[in-house]
Chain A
C-alpha cells in the first residue's frame, strides 16, 4: 500500500504516484518557517547568538523597569511632589499635567489663547497645499500659504485691527518653538534659493559673496548667532531704535537656516542634468525665465526631503533659545523645577519634552522618507 504521507522515494515505492502527479510538499522546517527564521536571524553564528543573548538581556533589564516607572508606579494626580511620592515611587505625571497650559502657551494671556489656537488651525490649512500636490486650486492656496506667516504674526502680536497687543516676551512654551521654527523655514526658503543660485552664478563677485555668507553661517554655532542677536545686533541699528528681541532672534534663526537651505537647494540644482539648462537656453528663455520655469521646479522637487530634514534640525534647534533667556517648552520645564512644591522632578520634565520632540520629529522624518520614496521615480 502506498503511504501518501511519506514523500521519500524508498526503492519499491517508486510507483506511489503517477509521473507528474507528485503533490508539492511544504518545505521542511529547516529551510522555511519560524524555526528556520529564528535559526538564521537570531542564532546563525556564534557572534550572532551572543548578540541575541545580549539584546535579550538588555531588553529584560530595561523594558520592565521603564514600564514600571512610566505607567505602573506613576502618579497621575496630586498637588505636590510629596503627594505624588505618597502614591507610588514612579514618575509624577501630575506635575506635567498641572502645567500643561504653560508648556503649550507659555505666558500668553489666558483670555487671548484662542488666537494661538486659531493660528495653529490656519497653519494646518497653509500646510495642506505644500504637503499634498493633488489639492484643487493649489496655486491660489499656495499664495495663502505664502501669506500665512504675516497673518499669524498679526494674529499673535495684535495691536492692529481690534486685536489686543501682546508683547512678544509673553511668547513661550511650545508656541515659541513653533513660531521660531515656522518663521525660520518660511523665510529661509526664498533666501536659500537666492543664495544657491548666487553660488552657482557665473558672476564671480556674486558667487564670492554668496559662498562667504554660506560658509560663515555654516561655520559658527547657532548659539553664537543667538548671542549676537541678544547683545550685538542692536548696535547695528540707528541709535534710539527699539528692536524687539524676538524679531532679532527670528532674523538670526532665518539667516542660519538659509545657509543650510542654500546647500540643500544647491544639491538639487546640481542634480539637474546640464541638458535642461541648455535646452532652456536654446528655447531663448532669459535667465530668470529658465530658472523659474525649467530648473527650479525640478530642483526644488528633488530637494524637498532635504528641506524637511533642515526643518527637523531647525525645529530641534529652537530649544537653544533658553541660553539667551527665552522660555520655550524646555525652558518652561526647567524653570518650573524651581517651584518648591515640585523640586527635583527634572527627569519627568526632560522625559516629557524628549517624548514630545521624538514624536513630532519622528513623524516628520517618516514624511520625508515617504517623499523620498515617492520622488524616486528613476527605476
Chain B
C-alpha cells in the first residue's frame, strides 16, 4: 500500500513535503526545547524587557541624543544609525570611485589602465578586515596629535583623534532655501518627463540636463541670497589642549568608511568594466550610422544597455558593503554589532535576545536594499515588444 503511494508521482511529492515539514518542526521543537532547558539551568528568562533598562555605557559617536542613562533600545537605535551612516557614505563613495576606476581601466591610456589594474587586484585580493585595520593604524599612528594637527585652509584639521571639519549652522530663514530646493527638484523632474514626451512625439530635443541643473542650482541660490544668506559655518578652532568646535569624524568612522569604499570600489569597477564591455561594438557603429552624436550615443544607447548588466551585481556589492560594515567591531566603531550585540550583550547576558535582534536588523537592511535594487532593475529592464 505504502509502496503504491510512493510510486505515484503526485502522492510521492505530497509525502516528501509532509515529511519535510514534520522534520523541520521536530528540529525546531528540539532546539527550542533545549534552549528552554538551558536557560532554566542558568536561571535566565527569555524576554526583551532589558531594552527599557538604562544602558549605562557611552557611545563616542551618536547621531541622536544619547547619554549613558539612555535605555538599551536607544543604544540600539544609535547603533543602527551608525551602521546606516557608514553604509550610505560607503555606498556613495564606492560607486563614484568604482565607476571612475572602471572607466579608466577601459581607457586607451595604457599606463593609467595598468596602474588602476594593479590597484584593483591588490585591493580586492586582501581581506577587508585588513584594509580596515591598516587604515585605522595609519590614522592613529601616523597622523599628528590634535595639537599639531595638519591644517588645511583653516577649515579642515587632520589629527589622530579624527578629522575636524566646519559645521554648518542653519539660521531661521534657511527653510525658504530648502523649500526652493524641493520645488526646483520637482520642477526638474516634471520638465524632464515633459521633454521626453515631446521628444517621443516630435523628435525635438531639449538640453534637459543643463536646464535641470540650472533650475536646481539657481533657484535655491537666488532664494538663499534674497533671504539674507541664513547660513554660517562653525569653524573648528585650536583650543588649549584639543581642537574644539566643528564636526568631528572619528578615526574609527574614517577608517571604516575609507576601507569599505576602497574595497568595494575595486569590485564595482570590475562590474562596470564588464558591463560596458558587454555592449557590442556594433551598437556604437549602428548609432554612428544613424548620425547620433557620440555623447548622445553614450546616453541613449550604451549606458541604458550597460546598466542592465551592471545593476544586479552592483546590488549585491551594496549588500556586501552593508554587511561588511559589521567589521566595525574590530576597531571599535559603535555600530549595531558593537552596541547591542557587543556591550549590551555583555552587560545583560541576554545572548539569545540580542543576537536575534541583530540578525533581524541586518536581514531587514538587506531586504530593503535588495527590494530597492529589484525595483530599479525592473524599471530599466528590457521591455520586449
Contact = CB atoms under 8 A, between A and B. Distances in A.
B324 A221 contact: yes
Contacts of B326: 221, 223-224
Contacts of B134: 347, 350-351, 354
Contact of B16 (A203, A236, A237): A203
A37 to B, nearest CB: 8
Contact of A55 (B115, B133, B319): B115
B323 interface: yes
A220 B359 contact: yes
A270 to B, nearest CB: 13
Q: How large is the interface on B (under 10, 10 to 19, 20 to 34, 35 or more residues)?
A: 35 or more
Interface stretch (B123-131, B177-185, B287-295, B301-309): B123-131
Contacts of B38: 234-235, 239
B34 A206 contact: no
B39 A235 contact: yes
Interface stretch (A3-11, A44-52, A115-123, A152-160): A44-52
Contacts of A227: 337, 341, 355, 358
B154 interface: no
Nearest to B323: A221
B47 interface: no
A175 to B, nearest CB: 17
Contact of A365 (B13, B21, B35, B125): B125
A195 to B, nearest CB: 13
A361 B124 CA distance: 9
B129 A320 contact: yes
A323 B358 CA distance: 16
B352 interface: yes
B327 A220 contact: no
Contact of A361 (B20, B24, B125, B324): B125
A218 B319 CA distance: 9
B312 to A, nearest CB: 11
A41 B114 CA distance: 12
A209 interface: yes
B126 A357 contact: yes
A228 interface: yes
A54 B35 CA distance: 61
Contacts of A239: 34, 37-38, 41
Contact of B111 (A56, A202, A238, A350): A56
A280 to B, nearest CB: 15
B186 interface: no
Q: What DSSP secondary structure best describes chain B's contact surface? A: helix
Contact of A238 (B34, B110, B319): B34
A319 interface: yes
B21 A205 contact: yes
B381 interface: no
A52 B112 contact: yes
A362 B355 contact: no
Given A205-B17, A205-B21, A231-B345, A219 B34 contact: no
Interface string A144-155: 000000000000
Given A48-B107, A51-B112, A346-B137, A235 B20 contact: no
A358 interface: yes
Contacts of A51: 104, 107, 109, 111-112
Nearest to A350: B134
Nearest to B14: A203
A272 interface: no
A26 B369 CA distance: 59
Contacts of A58: 115
A43 to B, nearest CB: 9
B366 interface: yes
B366 A220 contact: yes
Given A44-B109, A316-B127, A232 B351 contact: yes
B126 A220 contact: no
Which of B20, B127, B141, B363 counts the most A-chain CB atoms under 10 A from its CB? Answer: B127
Given A346-B141, A357-B125, A42 B34 contact: no
A41 B107 CA distance: 9
B17 A41 contact: no
Contacts of B41: 239
A209 B24 contact: yes
A357 B125 CA distance: 7
A220 B130 contact: no
A347 B136 CA distance: 11
A290 to B, nearest CB: 14
Contacts of B115: 55, 58-59
B86 to A, nearest CB: 13
B127 A235 contact: no
A216 interface: yes
Nearest to A263: B316
B121 interface: yes
Contact of B130 (A209, A232, A330): A330
A235 B36 CA distance: 8
A319 B130 contact: yes
A42 B111 contact: yes
24 contacts: A41-B110, A42-B109, A59-B115, A203-B13, A204-B17, A205-B20, A216-B363, A219-B366, A219-B367, A231-B345, A239-B34, A239-B41, A316-B128, A319-B130, A322-B129, A334-B133, A346-B137, A346-B141, A347-B141, A354-B130, A358-B122, A358-B125, A361-B125, A362-B125
Given A48-B108, A219-B363, 17 more contacts: A52-B111, A55-B112, A56-B111, A205-B20, A205-B21, A218-B366, A219-B362, A224-B359, A227-B355, A227-B358, A232-B351, A235-B39, A319-B127, A346-B137, A351-B134, A362-B125, A365-B125
Interface of A: 40-42, 44, 48, 51-52, 54-56, 58-59, 202-206, 209, 216, 218-224, 227-228, 231-232, 234-239, 312, 316-317, 319-320, 322-323, 330, 334, 344, 346-347, 350-351, 353-354, 357-358, 361-362, 365
**Shortest 10 CB-CB distances between A and B: which pairs?**
A219-B366, A361-B125, A221-B323, A316-B127, A236-B31, A221-B326, A205-B17, A231-B351, A41-B110, A223-B326
Interface of B: 13, 16-17, 20-21, 24, 31, 34-35, 37-39, 41, 104, 107-112, 115, 121-122, 125-130, 133-134, 137-138, 141, 319, 323-324, 326-327, 329-330, 337, 341, 345, 351-352, 355, 358-359, 362-363, 365-367
